[in-house]
């Protein structure tokens, strides 16, 4: 099962979880309550840490945040026939994305039911076959520093094309 449309993404070192339980005072300003047993995963969209967006919806609490961030660096996005876009890895679905403002995105030919969901323990095993989160994040930070050295304003954008995304996509870039 090879997706027709893939978005390779190395994402956000600054992803945060929004729990389904009432947020602490510190989290209250960015919290969105998710259904019981799940949380929404948010990310910063600018270097000032003033703007956030929900990246993944209703992620079960059984997934560790560090594993979510690690998978975010190595996974690929696929938009299924029904219009849902998921982060995928090894031909399995991981996390449902929120609407990222691309209403006309090309849909794939496969149904979500054809792709099983990868569980948290399976994800841990798959991640062992890739460079560690720390290694990937270090490379990401180097790239961002080099980018800032060339054009400091590039990392200050408030759109999703900020310094926290590195994309390759044949249709459009975030």
E-state strands within the chain: 7-11, 15-18, 38-44, 52-60, 76-79, 85-89, 92-97, 165-168
Is residue 33 within 8 Å of 39, Cβ to Cβ? no
CA–CA distance from 63 to each of 19, 48, 68, 69, 75 (Å)? 12, 28, 7, 10, 15
Question: Across the chain, which distance is largest between two alpha carbons, in Å?
Answer: 45
For every one of its 174 residues, what pLDDT tens digit does the chain have, with 9 covering 90 and above?
Answer: 444 333 333 344 455 544 444 444 334 333 456 678 899 988 877 777 788 888 999 999 999 999 999 999 999 999 999 989 999 999 999 999 987 666 667 888 899 999 999 999 999 999 999 999 999 999 999 998 998 888 877 655 433 333 333 322 222 233
């Amino acid at each position: 099962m090879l997706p027709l449309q893939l978005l390779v993404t190395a994402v956000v070192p600054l992803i945060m979880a929004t729990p389904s339980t009432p947020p602490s005072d510190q989290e209250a300003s960015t919290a969105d309550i998710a259904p019981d047993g799940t949380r929404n995963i948010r990310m910063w969209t600018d270097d000032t840490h003033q703007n956030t967006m929900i990246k993944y919806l209703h992620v079960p609490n059984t997934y560790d945040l560090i594993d979510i961030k690690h998978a975010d660096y190595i996974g690929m996005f696929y938009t299924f026939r029904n219009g849902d876009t998921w982060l995928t890895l090894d031909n399995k679905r991981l996390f449902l994305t929120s609407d990222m403002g691309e209403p006309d995105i090309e849909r794939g030919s496969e149904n979500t039911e054809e792709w099983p969901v990868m569980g948290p323990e399976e994800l841990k095993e798959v991640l062992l076959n890739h460079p560690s989160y720390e290694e990937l994040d270090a490379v990401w930070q180097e790239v961002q520093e080099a980018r800032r050295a060339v054009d400091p304003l590039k990392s200050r954008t408030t759109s999703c094309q900020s310094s926290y995304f590195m994309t390759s996509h044949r249709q459009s870039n975030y």
